[in-house]
Amino acid sequence: MEKIDLKDVYPVSQERKVNSSRRLAREKVLQAVYAESVCETNLNDLIDHIFYRIFNFDEYEEVTLEKDKLLNSKQIQELEADTQITWSEEHLNFAKDLLKATISRKDELNAYLEKFSNDWHPERISPIDKYIILIAITEMLDFPEIPPKVSINEALDISKMYSESKSKTFINGILDSIFKKLSDDGMLNKSGRGLLDNKDKEDA
């Protein structure tokens, strides 16, 4: 059977590209935190896959297309391929720092969520909503240059893309309560632009 170069058969994801932004960085962090919670893949491999579209298949050479066979590695790569991101050093470092800080603080962050979710049992909170909240709390605690209102608004905007419509109100209520608690306890060590009461979205 004739071998086919699948770069010719599935060219779309080979060509799509977009420049990075902090919004895209946050989205990739959300995907990576979620993936880390449900699989045993090494974090560095998850970063390779989610940030750089690197697929760790055993074979990357041309493959043979056969009728009635399961998808081969190149076809899987095409189906899963997100748009390629041209990462700036700033945005990539921000994403990696945010990802690692969120994972390392997970127990502490979950305690905040459980405390302020009121009548919501943790098991009733969707995983996506949960991780959006945890990432925003991490930003408040570990990123002094980002105003808390920006972290909250970015979380709400991301929830519009990844969560149910009713999630926005829930996420906003939880994050607003946690923000007030952290502020009252003197745990928000903000500096520079992070001191601004900025309600706008963050610049790309």
- Average pLDDT (177-188) is 92
Identify residue 122 by its one-letter amino acid code.
P
How many Å apart are CA 42 and CA 93, to the nearest integer?
19
Q: How confident is the model at residue 124 (pLDDT cuts 50, 70, 90)?
A: confident
Q: Token digits for 60?
A: 């990357």
- Asked whether the predicted pLDDT for residue 14 surpasses 90, the reply is no
Please name which of 104, 103, 157 lies closest in space to residue 131, comparing C-alpha atoms.
Answer: 103
How many Å apart are CA 196 and CA 109, to the nearest integer?
24
Task: Give the per-residue pLDDT at 60.
Answer: 42
* pTM exceeding the 0.85 threshold for the entire prediction: no
- Asked whether the predicted pLDDT for residue 165 surpasses 50, the reply is yes
Q: What domains appear along the chain, each with residue ranges and CATH number?
A: 6-86 (no CATH), 105-195 (1.10.940.10)
Burial environment of residue 95 by CB neighbours within 10 A (0 to 12, 13 to 18, 19 or more): buried
Task: Give the per-residue pLDDT at 94.
Answer: 98
- Asked whether the predicted pLDDT for residue 13 surpasses 70, the reply is no
At 150-160, the pLDDT tens digits run: 999 999 999 99
Q: Which residues face 152 on adjacent strands?
A: none
Q: How confident is the model at residue 21 (pLDDT cuts 50, 70, 90)?
A: very high
Half-sphere exposure of 64 (CA within 13 A, CB side): 5
How many Å apart are CA 110 and CA 127, to the nearest integer?
12
- Asked whether the predicted pLDDT for residue 8 surpasses 70, the reply is no
- Asked whether the predicted pLDDT for residue 181 surpasses 90, the reply is yes
- Asked whether the predicted pLDDT for residue 9 surpasses 60, the reply is no
